A and B are shown apart, each in its own frame.
Chain A
Amino acid sequence: MVARTPEEFRAKQQIDVRTFHEVIGIETRERRVRVVDRKTQNEAWEAYDELLMATGAVPLRPSVPGADASGIYGVHTLESGIRLRKVLDAQQPRSAVIVGGGYIGLEMAEAFLLRGMRVSLVDKAPQVMGTLDQDMARHVARALTDRGVHLYLDEALEAFAVRNGRVHAVITSQRTLETDLVLLGMGVAPNTQLAKEAGIPLGERGAVRVDRRMATEVEGVWAAGDCAESFHRLTGQPFYVALGTVANRHGRVAGTNMAGGDARFSGVVGTAVTRICSLEVARTGLQTRELEGLGRPFVSQTIESHTRAAYFPGSGTIHVKMLADAATGVVLGAQIVGQEGAAKRIDVMATAISAELTARQVSELDLAYAPPFSPLWDPLIIAARLLAKKIQ
């Protein structure tokens, strides 16, 4: 997971990386930051010409009774993942309750299952994976319950039952779930405490407000990654997404500009992919909830097909949902749930959306075919062709 160590950055690139050093304050007018060396507790001012806020995100924590008990974990950093792994190895818990059915929650459900644990998952929403439409999320839920995950949807977390400072049950609006361990997968919020204290304006969902060059509204201060806003190419509006790919893209733009260049962030279309219990899940563009929120008339098409030629070994089911503007037919979103080989097809759709292709144009793409990779008509072609017929 660690692609390059601090020592490598220092030696090979002459970048002065100081780990265990925390910035505790910013004076934007004086252009300096207050830094604490966490090993010695020594504090010092460091001057800057250009400053980048890359403070990341923090996991959302529930404000319910018992939330500060021990035995409640999150996995938002490499360290927190390592810490949880040590707990699992040392204590060998037999059960876990996961709060939140997003990417982290579902990926951790699989990890716990692989350790032979009894896994329950609670979410206040009526579906898992809120970034999918409900009909597509149902396939994911079925895969989880088939593997033995106990799903409790439409159930709000009300409290943690605590004994001797340690959580022993999760109390929902419907039931009490006894457990050895709790994992929080409730999503993240931008970590903007420092920015807020320094008077750097915030925007979408509390992320640092930036322009397309990743500049904040304060002279000499930039922001990138999970603490910063993005913008959605389909709406042109500010958009918040916490993803490593986006963080790297933000970083490249900010780094170029801080070095005197002129780069612009090209925005996101909401592309994401994951795998849960051998089921591949991918999405891009706008989903039904978002389109309804925008009041944008749209049509959609859902199909079921095969990941490879149906007769070919390893061929599996794939579900594709595609959404397009009702008047123009321009593709606005796509979602894929299926067996091995299904998910990376989403990149075709992310490309189609960026190029503003219509459903008809997608249905006429010259996509690759050979039996190990696809049925004769790729599932995307099938979905796009049916979708195109719905447009006046």
Chain B
Amino acid sequence: MGTRKKRVVIIGGDAAGMSAASVAKRKNPDLEVMVFEKGPHTSYSA
């Protein structure tokens, strides 16, 4: 069993959520990044 990856959960997939997701993953590619968005779309400008 490997150790579980550190997991970042983001509530909301618009500008703030998606830019945070992108930056976090870029800074630490070993992170597991999950985004929950209640609507059909993600950010329009991240």
Contacts and interface: CB of A to CB of B under 8 A. Distances in A.
Contact of B22 (A15, A20, A224, A260): A15
Most buried by A among B24, B27, B40: B24
A279 interface: no
Interface residues of A, number: 55
Contacts of B10: 51-52, 54
B39 A255 contact: no
Contacts of A43: none
Q: B22, B37, B43: which has the most chain A beta carbons within 10 Å?
A: B43
B36 A252 contact: no
Most buried by A among B15, B32, B41: B15
Contact of A48 (B9, B17, B29): B9
Nearest to A257: B24
Task: Please classify the interface of chain A as helix (H, G, I), strand (E, B), loop, or mixed, using the class held by over half of its residues.
Answer: mixed
Contacts of B41: 2, 19, 77-79
Contacts of B3: none
Contact of B43 (A4, A16, A250): A4
A258 B42 contact: no
9 contacts: A19-B40, A22-B36, A23-B11, A77-B39, A244-B15, A248-B15, A252-B19, A259-B24, A259-B28
Given A17-B37, A54-B20, A250-B20, 12 more contacts: A21-B38, A46-B36, A50-B9, A52-B12, A52-B16, A56-B12, A222-B20, A226-B16, A252-B20, A252-B23, A254-B20, A259-B28
